Amino acid sequence: MIIRNPSTILQILERDAARTHDEATMKTMQVQQADDEVQRVHANCHELATRIAGAIRDDGTAEPMKGLHLQRASSPAGPIHGMIEPSLCVIAQGSKVILLGNTPYRYDPAHYLLATAELPCIGQISDATPEHPYLSLRLQLDPTLVGSVMIEAGHLAPQTQTLVRALDVSVLDASLLDAVVRFVRLLDAPSDARFLAPLITREIIYRLLIGEQNGRLRQIAAISGDFHRIAEAIERIRHDFDQPLHIEDLARAVSMSVSSFHHHFKVVTAMSPLQFQKQLRLQEARRLLLGEHLDAASAGYRVGYEDASHFTREYKRLFGAPPMHDVERMREAVMAGASTEVVPKRSVDEMM
């Protein structure tokens, strides 16, 4: 098409120039918004580290608010054997590796870890110094509360849902980090915490529900389906860990075939039912050896091992040394003040 009218040509040029200007303005605004977001994230990360460091001034763990657990370490530590329960774990400074079965999960201030079932894990703090200590928090997740937020937000679990591993790591986005920082601020405002903590907890759950781990979080609130059955099986094994494990009876108790039970259990926990029970037994045996001063044979018998030599072999395979040697090593570490795992615990504080 040939345009002969000069005024028409001028109008077209003006319109194109205006469009170009609008696009440039929009791009500039987007770049500015991105820069602002980066600065906000950086400021929130710094504030979170500062507040955790102020709340826990010595190495160890603390629970300054119900359901909120903090940890500080001035040097790399581990391996730490313990249980991790349904929780959101955020690192403000440093880094950590969690080993579930044979799968490692590394996270740091740019990533969060979400666990949706109580699982035996091995944790190792890999980045910590006295000048820049490892600082982290763990927020317990109540399945009932998760279910309530799901209903209110309209994020109901589908009738059929594919099972996923009950633990994973994702990028910590700005909105979730902002909610976590506001929650930790309540440590300095106890009168506000009574009213605001439940609200911010719900917001954190909502942020998780609309994030990339939404399917994993929905499993927590499942009241039926395969995950609910596996969660029931996990609880049965935990309760009767010192008793012989009969897979056929356990599968029947949760209304699953043996093959389906084996498959789904490993999907969720990254280990077989027998491996799961073995870790529970050996962690409890270690606690008995150090905390109740039992000998190896007695500790093994208390957790369900009838053959002392079998117990010793399994113990060494998991902890790297025979029972009494391992206990002696831990006691020497206590005397030396080493920053390693020195007190076996049934709690999950040091797993975050």
- Determine the Cα–Cα distance for residues 43 and 66; give it in Å rounded to an integer: 26
How do 167-171 and 87-93 pair as beta strands? unpaired
Residues 6+ apart with CB under 8 A from 130: 74, 75
Confidence at 110, pLDDT banded by 50, 70, 90: very high
pLDDT for 301: 95
Inform me whether the pLDDT recorded for 338 exceeds 90. Answer: no
Give all domains of the chain, ordered by start, each with its CATH number. Answer: 62-220 (2.60.120.10), 226-351 (1.10.10.60)
pLDDT for 195: 93
Contact 243, 253 (CB under 8 A): no
Secondary structure (3-state) at 279? helix
Q: CA nearest 222: which of 238, 240, 234, 211? A: 234
Which amino acid, residue 247? I
Inform me whether the pLDDT recorded for 238 exceeds 50. Answer: yes
Inform me whether the pLDDT recorded for 50 exceeds 80. Answer: yes
Tokens 């950086």 sit at which residue?
A: 42
Confidence at 164, pLDDT banded by 50, 70, 90: confident
Confidence at 351, pLDDT banded by 50, 70, 90: low
Residue 27 or 272, more confident: 272
pLDDT for 49: 95
pLDDT for 346: 46
